Structures are given as structure tokens and as C-alpha cells.
Structure 1
């Protein structure tokens, strides 16, 4: 295999051009005890955790959009819309002076072979689901050599977090926009992932199905 085509690409750090003696200081420079919040969560927000329950059961649970009613901090009241697969709920974080909170539309896209579950969401309108919550369930036996699941969860900072692209759909008097909370997505999602862990582990530990009867 010829790698000469890589010679014209600037910025590559490979052992052929950057011996270990040169690369080690560069790597050490990237290891810090404290990182700026924006550097960690500015463009991508990723949280992960181990959950002591079978991965296939956890995946099945996550593929039902209504599970968000249980483990998220503020999404409540999921009801189906006239469009198949599209659900309407309310995000209590967007509560204004009146009403239950901001309408949030969600469509779940799941791929069983890869055990990926993506929640496509948007406040106020269901035509452009631009908030994408990317989740993957991994068999812990493969990566940790023990039973259970690993959940990987990433959000990308879509430009619409910085401004509401559909202001005409927003309820009058709402004091916040979903993007106002971006800086808190890291710890907030870790809190929600801890909820997911507690729910799934409790049910598995007590011999209950991870997906409750009311969702079946």
C-alpha cells in the first residue's frame, strides 16, 4: 500500500514523520488536570456510563420514545401525533408564565445491529427535527469483559441552539430558548444518564423487565 498521497496533507502526526521523541511532548501538552468547559462541551457534548443490565433489554427500552418520560429530567406527557412515529411532549424547562412547558417533537431512529438509538427532536414544531441525541448501547462483555451495557451519548452543537430558527412557532412570553441551556448539557445529561442507570439496574436487579408493562 502506498501512502505517498499523504505527503501533501499538512498537520498529520504519524510516527514516520514525528518520531516518539517529538510526539510525546505534544501528547503530554494535551493532558491537563483542568480543561476549559467550552473545550470539553463547546461543540460536542458526550457522556458515557456503565449500566448493569443486559444490552438487548436496554436497547429495546430506549427504542420506545416514551422511555424519555421516565429517565429525562423534564420531558413529560408523550402522545402520538397524526404522523406515524412522531411524538409530542412538553419540556418543562421551557415553561413560560402559562402552560405545561415548551412543545417538543421527537422521532426515534434505531438500528438493532449497531444498537444505535437516535432521538430526533425540536421545540415548537415537528417539521425540522434538528436536535439530534445520538446514543449507542455497547455490550459490556466486549469492552469491559463483564456482563452489562455501556451507553455512549453525544450531542452536537447545531447552529440553531444559538438562535430560534422558527420564532413564529414559539409560544408568547416564553422566557428561554433551548440553546440557553447548552452550557449545562454536560452535567445535565450526566444527571439524566444516572436516572437511566438507576431505573434499568433497579428493574434488572429485581427480576423485572427493563421495559415496563405500561409501555408494551
Structure 2
């Protein structure tokens, strides 16, 4: 089997530039449907004027979510090492459980979360901190943040753990994730840049 046996590939060997250019132009639009951009994946990005190592240290501590997210508050450790309990005020008195998986060498910080229960952390927030000097030729960081539309966003897999009379489910907000996450990323940028400009540690003393 060779690449020639695979349908749908567009490579210069089989599609010269003159043939590929109209295809690419057709893919480019001035307006994109919201569901096409944010249906299966929600990705937001930003430049942050703060050293990547300092930003990584801050984001790798789960408690930072209490500062820059819109609605996660009151982080306390659970009996399970590395697992934190907080409240997502989008869901009134909704418990949210979070475990942070970070890799300094790769610059990745992933938040594994779930509403109501801490056994199956299916809400995964994937973040990467990139050295802006490498990709933008300027000091600072580039933050890449992606969520995937897990099927549980469409239906609560653990209804028995939900608080009574809660009117919403986290998936009800999926269409707003793009704007909501951009709002939160702007919060992160404002906090990190302010502390860096003031000569302060990006990670506050209460977290150290």
C-alpha cells in the first residue's frame, strides 16, 4: 500500500499548486458558522507578556483557577492526593473536582475536571505555554487552550450525584465556551502581566 491508495489526500505530487489553490481559497471565508469553529473543539489563544517558566509555575498549581477563571472558587484538597474540590458558581452550589497534569519540558498544563463527582474526570482543559521568543521573536509566552466536545457535555452521565433542583448542566454552556474561555484567558493575561510588570512573582505568596 502506498499513499496513492488513500483517497482524499491533497499533496503537491498529485495536486499541483494551480489545482490546490482554488481548493484552499474555497476553504477560506470571511464569515464562519459558530458550530463549525466551536462545535467539536473549542480553541482560544493569546500572547502574555510574562516569562513562560513563571507562567507555567502559576498554571501548574490548581489553585490558580480560583483567580483567573470566571466561576471556580474555594479550592480545597481532598483525601486523594492531587485531587482538589471547588465550587463552580455557574451551577450554583455545584461541586467541581480537578486534577492538574503538568509537564514542564513540554510546557503543557492539563486540567482534568468533572462536575459533581471526582471518580471520572472527563472534562479536560488542554493548555500549552510556548516561549514567545521562539514563535513570535519577542519575550513572553503564547498560551494555547483547547477543549474537546466530550459526549458527556450533551448528557449528564452521573445524574445521581447532581444536587437536587439544579436547573443547568455544564454542557448547556458549550456554545458559550469559545467566548467564555477567551474572557478567562484575558483574565489570565491581565493578572500575569500586571504582576510581571510590577516585579512581583506571578505565583502569589498564598499559593507558595
CA positional deviation for 1:154: 0.1
Q: Does 1:187 align with 2:184?
A: no
Q: Distance in 2 between matches of 1:33 and 1:10?
A: 29
Q: Does 1:10 align with 2:3?
A: no
Report the equivalent of 1:170: 162
CA positional deviation for 1:212: 0.1
Q: Distance in 1 between matches of 2:105 and 2:44?
A: 22
Report the equivalent of 2:41: 44
CA positional deviation for 1:8: 1.0
1:144-201 alpha-carbon deviations (Å, 9 max, x no partner): 0010000000000000000000000000000000000000000000000000000000
| Matches for 1:19-168 after TM superposition, within 5 Å | 19-95=16-92, 101-168=93-160
CA positional deviation for 1:29: 0.5
The size of the alignment, in residue pairs, is 208
Give the 3-state SS of the residue equivalent to 1:50 in structure 2.
strand
CA positional deviation for 1:7: 1.1
Q: Distance in 2 between matches of 1:24 and 1:131?
A: 38
Q: Distance in 2 between matches of 1:196 and 1:93?
A: 19
Q: Distance in 2 between matches of 1:44 and 1:131?
A: 12
Q: Distance in 2 between matches of 1:162 and 1:142?
A: 39
CA positional deviation for 1:132: 0.2
Give the 3-state SS of the residue equivalent to 1:29 in structure 2.
helix
Q: Distance in 1 between matches of 2:2 and 2:112?
A: 38
1:71-96 alpha-carbon deviations (Å, 9 max, x no partner): 0000000000000000000000001x
Q: 5+ unaligned residues in a row in structure 2: which ranges?
A: none
Q: Distance in 1 between matches of 2:26 and 2:184?
A: 32
1:83-123 alpha-carbon deviations (Å, 9 max, x no partner): 0000000000001xxxxx21000000000100100000000
1:36-69 alpha-carbon deviations (Å, 9 max, x no partner): 0000000000000000010000000000000000
Q: Distance in 1 between matches of 2:185 and 2:207?
A: 20
Q: 5+ unaligned residues in a row in structure 1: which ranges?
A: 96-100
Moved more, 145-154 or 4-13: 4-13
